[in-house]
Amino acid sequence: MAPGWNDTTAKLACAAGGADWDSVTQLADQGDADAKKALEEIRKEGQERFLAALHFDGLNHVAYANVKSDVHNAWLVQGVDTMPTRIDQTIRL
The reported pLDDT for the residue numbered 18 is 92
The reported pLDDT for the residue numbered 2 is 84
Q: For residue range 9-46, what is the model confidence (pLDDT) as tens digits?
A: 999 999 999 999 999 999 999 999 999 999 999 999 99
- Exposure string over 39-78, b if 16+ CB within 10 A, otherwise e: bebbbebbbbbbbbbebbeeeeeeebeeebeebeeeeeee
What distances in angstroms separate CA 58 from CA 36, 55, 63, one per listed residue? 33, 5, 11
Cα–Cα distance for residue pair 46/55, rounded to 1 Å:
14
- On the 0-12 / 13-18 / 19+ scale of CB atoms within 10 A, 10 is buried
CB 19 within 8 A of CB 42: yes
* pTM, to two decimals: 0.79
